[in-house]
């Protein structure tokens, strides 16, 4: 049976068809239609889904959807979505109706972790923690090929762990000093501006760092330090077989050298046994993970 996955992102909708051996059959992307509001997003997903089922001549398939945020167990409505107008909406039920197919929906970070655990950098490992360090920070835990969601659907939300409360950085309405305020892409940029008074993008900060700029070196050393604290805490709590990094910041090569040195500094007894590796699917991991969690 074919598996179809659809991944809703902040700017795009991506869909994929994979076969029973997890080989890609067809994939496409489209702008997510958010400029037309909630109905625009639903319509875009329907259009992508229609194109996918045409490619397999409407044969039976499973369907999974990845999304920012999660579905509240109490209300059945979408929550914690970074596309703000979608919060409080019956997203899954509306999708089932317009697509005329049963589906399973999962947080996008969990989809990332699932794809890397089953098909990617964590393949063959029992306990896989997927870390996303992009504009924000997210994560997902997969054990024996199953997503672990937790009682409140918040397993993996390591970006909201607090590492410096008393004098911590402010981050929206969140408690002070959360991980996301320091090691996300926007967190790095905010810390740079706070320290040096000018706005710089992460790529330009990294370039300056490699060229020996003292201001950039200060910011990046602070980033590696907070990265080491945060990931070492993950290892202490979960002790996974592998941690797979994703998101734009995971493309900074030094995170796998200097970043690991800081993890070793803070991990229990200074012994780092846990592999911390780069993802294999890039920003398409979510759509493959959605296909893997689908139902018929």
Residue 217 structure tokens: 């070196």
Q: How far apart are CA 29 and CA 135, in angstroms?
A: 20
| 6, β-bridge pairs | 15, 65
Which pLDDT does position 170 carry in this prediction? 61
| 129, β-bridge pairs | 141, 243
Claim: this prediction has a pTM higher than 0.75: yes
Measured in degrees and rounded to the nearest 5, phi and psi for residue 112 equal -60, -50
Q: With left for phi above 0 and alpha for psi between -120 and 50, is residue 76 left, alpha or beta?
A: left
Domain ranges of the chain: 2-112+283-292, 124-279
Mean pLDDT in residue range 261-267: 95
| 178, β-bridge pairs | 162
For residue 268, pLDDT beyond 90: no
Query: Which segment of 46-50, 60-64, 71-75, 89-93 scores lowest on mean pLDDT?
Result: 71-75
For residue 82, pLDDT beyond 90: no
143 contacts: CB under 8 Å, gap ≥ 6: 126, 127, 128
Query: Which segment of 19-28, 64-73, 157-166, 180-189 scores lowest on mean pLDDT?
Result: 157-166
Which pLDDT does position 265 carry in this prediction? 94
pLDDT band at 122 (very low <50, low <70, confident <90, very high): very high
Which pLDDT does position 270 carry in this prediction? 75
For residue 47, pLDDT beyond 60: yes
Pairing, β 137-143 against β 146-148:
antiparallel
156 contacts: CB under 8 Å, gap ≥ 6: 107, 109, 110, 113, 129, 130, 138, 139, 140, 141, 148
What CATH number was assigned to the domain covering residues 124-279?
Answer: 3.30.420.40
Mean pLDDT in residue range 213-231: 96
Query: Which segment of 11-15, 32-36, 70-74 scores lowest on mean pLDDT?
Result: 70-74
% residues pLDDT > 90 (the chain):
81
Asked if 132 and 138 touch (Cβ cutoff 8 Å), the reply is yes
Query: Contacts for 71-76 with beta carbons within 8 Å, 24 or more apart?
Result: 71/105, 71/153, 72/153, 73/152, 73/153
Record: fold of 2-112+283-292: Nucleotidyltransferase; domain 5 (3.30.420)
Mean pLDDT in residue range 56-70: 95
For residue 263, pLDDT beyond 70: yes
Give the helix/strand (H/E) hosting 186: helix 185-196
- Give tens-digit pLDDT for 153-183: 788 888 888 887 556 566 555 566 889 989 9
Asked if 239 and 269 touch (Cβ cutoff 8 Å), the reply is no
Asked if 13 and 286 touch (Cβ cutoff 8 Å), the reply is no
Which pLDDT does position 29 carry in this prediction? 95
- Give tens-digit pLDDT for 124-142: 999 999 999 988 888 999 9
Which pLDDT does position 173 carry in this prediction? 56
Q: How far apart are CA 208 and CA 216, in angstroms?
A: 6
For residue 295, pLDDT beyond 80: yes
What does the mean pLDDT of the chain come to? Answer: 93
| 137, β-bridge pairs | 133
């Amino acid at each position: 049976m074919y598996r179809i996955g659809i991944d809703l992102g902040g700017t795009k909708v991506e869909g994929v068809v994979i076969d029973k051996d997890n080989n890609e059959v067809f994939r496409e992307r489209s702008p997510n239609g958010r400029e037309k509001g909630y109905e625009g997003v639903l319509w875009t997903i329907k259009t992508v889904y229609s194109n996918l089922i045409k490619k397999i001549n409407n044969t039976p398939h499973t369907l999974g959807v990845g999304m920012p945020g999660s579905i509240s167990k109490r209300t059945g409505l979408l929550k914690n979505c970074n596309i703000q107008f979608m919060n409080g909406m019956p997203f899954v039920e509306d999708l089932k109706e317009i697509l005329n197919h049963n589906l399973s929906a999962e947080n996008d970070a969990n989809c990332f972790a699932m794809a890397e655990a089953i098909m990617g950098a964590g393949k063959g490992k029992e306990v896989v923690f997927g870390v996303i360090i992009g504009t924000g920070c997210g994560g997902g835990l997969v054990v024996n090929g199953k997503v672990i969601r937790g009682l409140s659907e918040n397993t993996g939300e390591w970006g909201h762990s607090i590492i410096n409360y008393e004098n911590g950085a402010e981050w929206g309405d969140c408690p002070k000093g959360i991980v996301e305020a320091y090691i996300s892409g926007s967190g790095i940029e905010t810390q740079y501006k706070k320290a040096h008074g000018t706005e710089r993008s992460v790529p330009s900060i990294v370039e300056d760092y490699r060229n020996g700029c003292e201001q950039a070196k200060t910011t990046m050393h602070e980033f590696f330090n907070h990265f080491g604290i945060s990931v070492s805490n993950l290892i202490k709590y979960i002790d996974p077989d592998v941690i797979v990094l994703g998101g734009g910041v995971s493309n900074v090569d030094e995170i796998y050298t200097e970043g690991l040195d800081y993890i070793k500094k803070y991990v229990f007894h200074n012994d780092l046994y846990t592999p911390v590796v780069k993802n294999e699917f890039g920003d398409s991991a979510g759509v493959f993970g959605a296909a893997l969690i689908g139902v018929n």
